[in-house]
Amino acid sequence: MTEMLFRDDPHLAEAAATVEAHTPEGGVVLDRSCFYPTGGGQPGDCGSLAWAGGAMEVATTVKGEDGAIVLVPAEAQALPAVGTAVTQTLDWDRRSLHMRVHTALHLLSVVIPLPVTGGSIGAGKGRLDFDMADTPQDRDALEAQLNELVDLDLPVTEDWITDAELAANPALVKTMSVAPPRGAGQVRLVRIGKGDQTVDLQPCGGTHVARTGEIGRLRLGKVEKKGRQNRRVYLHLDA
Q: What is the CATH number of the domain that holds 206?
A: 3.30.980.10
Distance separating alpha carbons of residues 37 and 107, to the nearest angstrom:
23
pLDDT in tens, the chain (239 residues): 899 999 999 999 999 999 999 999 999 999 999 999 999 899 999 999 999 999 999 999 999 999 999 999 999 999 999 999 999 999 999 999 999 999 999 999 999 999 999 999 999 999 999 999 888 888 999 999 999 999 999 999 999 888 888 888 877 887 755 666 655 678 889 999 999 899 999 999 999 999 999 999 999 999 999 888 899 999 999 97
Distance separating alpha carbons of residues 237 and 239, to the nearest angstrom:
6
Distances (CA, A) of 237 to 43, 124, 140: 17, 5, 16
Element holding 111 (H helix, E strand): helix 92-111
Last residue of a domain, one of 66, 90, 114: 90
73/178 same-domain check? no
84/99 same-domain check? no
Q: What is the pLDDT of residue 176?
A: 59
Distance separating alpha carbons of residues 220 and 208, to the nearest angstrom:
20
Distance separating alpha carbons of residues 131 and 239, to the nearest angstrom:
29
β-partners of residue 21 are 29
What range does the domain containing 44 cover? 3-90
> Can you give the pTM of this predicted structure?
0.92
74/158 same-domain check? no
- Provide the number of structural domains found in the chain: 2
Q: What is the CATH number of the domain that holds 50?
A: 2.40.30.130
183/222 same-domain check? yes
Backbone angles phi, psi at 122, to 5 degrees: -125, 180
159/56 same-domain check? no
Last residue of a domain, one of 90, 122, 157: 90
Spatial contact of 218 and 146, defined as CB atoms under 8 Å apart: yes
81/164 same-domain check? no
Task: Give CA angle at 129 (207, 119), nearest 5°.
Answer: 25
229/113 same-domain check? yes
Last residue of a domain, one of 90, 107, 126: 90
